[in-house]
Amino acid sequence: MLTPENATELIESIKEKFSSNIDTGYIESMKKLVDDEDRVMGVRVPIIKSIANDFMKEHGKELDTNDLLTLADECFKTEGREEQLFAVFALSKRVKKMDRDAWRLIDNWVDYISNWETCDQLATQFAGKILLANIDLITDLKKWAKQTNVWRRRFAAASTVALNHAGHSNPTATFEVLRPLVADNNPMVRKAVAWAIREAARADENSAYLFLREVKDVAVPYVLKYGSEKLTDAHMKELGL
């Protein structure tokens, strides 16, 4: 069984790999994503994915699902961009074996998120796929959509993207989560809401149209403009967009 102490040792070895792949020209742009620049090392996403893939090839057989969750938990507690993204990409390799216990950890991890990149990767690559297998968990997302933490609100919206992706279609559940968020004018939230509506429209255009018609008078202009991009010309005209 992997202990938090053992996990910390593994993270240190992973950070050594990050250190040898720092892109100094990338650091400045990444620092714009987070409030604390000390959380950013400056490693590009494809490199982080490659390191996570290599790690799983080397250690995947010796780490069971609980071990991997323990490692991910310690990664999120570091609050470092690279460590958190590494955790998401490693977890995505085992997501089909995850259950509702992982969701309880996700609830804690959201409090350690400080940028849209990590928020969206955790939401789409891991949390959303657990949500697909446990659709009743939208009850939590509906609660998170009303909280003061901007990243929790964005996470609620972004997690619904998986519900309407890769052949899936769950517009009703999606719009239950998005309904209280359409009036949210925080840039980080409204962008995720518009994104989620577009994905829902790809799966069920008419349902997206009916939702936008329902919320038209309360939704912020950004959500209407960019959330409607996948609607038919006829439906755009009916909405006056």
CATH number, position 237: 1.25.10.90
Buried b (16+ CB within 10 A) or exposed e, 39-54: bbbbbeeebbbebbee
What residues make up the domain containing 82? 1-97
Establish if 232 belongs to a structural domain: yes
Average pLDDT of 161-166? 94
Look up residue 148 and give its DSSP letter: S
**pLDDT one-digit tens code per residue, 16-60:** 999 999 888 887 777 666 666 668 888 999 999 999 999 999 998
Number of structural domains found in the chain: 2
Q: Could you tell me if 136 and 73 lie in one domain?
A: no
Higher-pLDDT residue of 26 and 62 is 62
Q: Could you tell me if 148 and 87 lie in one domain?
A: no
Cα torsion at 138, 143, 147, 152 (round to 10°)?
-20
**pLDDT one-digit tens code per residue, 217-232:** 999 999 999 999 999 9
Measured CA to CA, the distance from residue 103 to residue 100 in angstroms comes to 5
Give residue 213's identity as a one-letter amino acid code.
Answer: R
Establish if 142 belongs to a structural domain: yes
Q: Could you tell me if 61 and 126 lie in one domain?
A: no
Q: Could you tell me if 64 and 31 lie in one domain?
A: yes
* Residue 139 CB neighbours (<10 A): 11
Closest alpha carbon to 108 in 65, 66, 152, 150: 152
Q: Could you tell me if 129 and 222 lie in one domain?
A: yes
Measured CA to CA, the distance from residue 57 to residue 231 in angstroms comes to 43
Q: Could you tell me if 59 and 118 lie in one domain?
A: no
Q: Could you tell me if 83 and 136 lie in one domain?
A: no
**pLDDT one-digit tens code per residue, 177-216:** 999 999 999 999 999 999 999 999 999 999 999 999 999 9
Mean pLDDT, the chain, whole residue set: 93
Q: Could you tell me if 127 and 228 lie in one domain?
A: yes
Phi, then psi, of 19 in degrees rounded to 5: -60, -30
Q: Could you tell me if 91 and 139 lie in one domain?
A: no
| pLDDT above 70: percentage of residues in the chain | 97
